[in-house]
Amino acid sequence: MYIGTSILLIALGAILKYAVTATAAGIDIQTAGVILMVVGVVGLVISLAVMTVWSDRRQRDDTRDRDRVIERDRPVRGY
């Protein structure tokens, strides 16, 4: 679940919780809205945590590559 999906779930849950006044047999729409908002917030937190970990790892890899010197053989110029 990515950030966009999480925000969509939060928005959909808020609409069901606060804007919908209809009733349905066998399901409480407001409770379903709260559940969707909670799932969206949890997904958002997990997505941000994963992005932070990958961003930190990418920065460490870049500095490691910059400090490394690669020695190569000189090309032969004889034709």
* C-beta of residue 6 within 8 angstroms of C-beta of residue 44: yes
For the chain, domain boundaries: 3-66
Specify the pTM: 0.68
- Residue-level pLDDT at 61: 55
Going by the DSSP 8-state scheme, the letter that residue 76 receives in this structure is P
Q: 11: Cβ–Cβ under 8 A, 6 or more apart, which residues?
A: 40
pLDDT tens across 6-33, in order?
999 999 999 999 999 999 999 999 999 9
CA-nearest of 17, 24, 55, 64 to 38 is 17
Which residue, 5, 4, 3, 31, is CA-closest to 16?
31
What is the pLDDT at residue 37?
A: 98
